[in-house]
Amino acid sequence: MLHLQALLGSLPLLLSLASAAPALSSRQTAAVQVVKLSSIENVAVRSNGQVLATNMNSANLYTVDPVAKTSKTAIAVTGASGLSGIAEYLPDVFAVIGGKGIYKVDFTGSAPKSTLIKTITEASNLNGLATFDNNTVLVADAGKGTVFRFDLTTGAYSSVLTDTTMAPSGGIPFGIDGIKYRDGTVWYTNIFKNSFHKVAVDPVTAKATGAYTTLWTNLMGDDLCFGPNGKIYVATNSKNSLVEVDPAVGKPTSVGTVTGSTSCAFGRTDKDKNVAYVGAGAGVFAITIKV
């Protein structure tokens, strides 16, 4: 979920840090720009079909209408200078990373409201965020190479996953980036190690119950999302694509081209359930996945 051009200032420097991408069997479709917005970091989709988008350099949480192709500020998150990871944990209630703080953004009322739940004071560089259950999220600290389990009611948190596959590297330095959880498995990327990983975890404590497994080490991965077809999709940042991963195989297949892709989330209506909304340096794009 790292928008590297914003942090590093130039694509050439980014490319010097990344290894060459592997040859991918392609069934690509053209990406359509939904809206133009600067340096989108992460995206999520509400049940009403609206797309939420964050920017690490702004406290504004944007809402995007993918039908009208318009955008506006849904809410400015008070106390945050920039926003990164976002995930829905209750119907129309989202957890959002703002600096070292975890915020609640509630859309269930007449107007959205934001509340700081708690600051993870010892954090280095919080970036990825995944729903664990309806009261808990997993928060990836890219600077420390660890994952915190965070209670959204009490604000209690603890480091539950740490491994060399999460460790930072590169000039920033930056390690674990995108993270998602489903059915006892945590999936995550390490952006500057050009790698994608998984680990089985306890469904209550989120602590590892199996080995940390590496699926690839030769393709940059940023944030990721689950598709409606059981596949996983990974934005590849400077590799300018969205790739599909069969969890049983673990290898990437390119499904669309988006320059500077940082994140993805699938539509939630009957009309767009096969559409991946992709955050990127120039805004939010849509890729229809061929099934």
CATH topology of domain 24-288: Neuraminidase (2.120.10)
Residue 17: its H or E element? helix 11-17
Residue 6: its H or E element? helix 4-8
64-93 burial by CB neighbour count: b if 16+ within 10 A, else e? bebeeeebeebbebeebebbbbbbbbeeee
Q: What is the DSSP letter of 166?
A: G
Domain ranges of the chain: 24-288
Smallest Cα–Cα separation from 97: which of 81, 111, 109? 81
Beta-carbon count within 10 A of 241 CB:
26
Smallest Cα–Cα separation from 61: which of 17, 95, 108? 95
Task: From first to last of the 291 residues of the chain, give the pLDDT tens digit.
Answer: 555 444 543 333 343 334 344 444 455 678 999 999 999 999 999 999 999 999 999 999 999 999 999 999 999 999 999 999 999 999 999 999 999 999 999 999 999 999 999 999 999 999 999 999 999 999 999 999 999 999 999 999 999 999 999 999 988 899 999 999 999 999 999 999 999 999 999 999 999 999 999 999 999 999 999 999 999 999 999 999 999 999 999 999 999 999 999 999 999 999 999 999 999 999 999 999 987
pLDDT, residue 23, reads: 44
The Cα–Cα gap between 265 and 159 comes to: 26
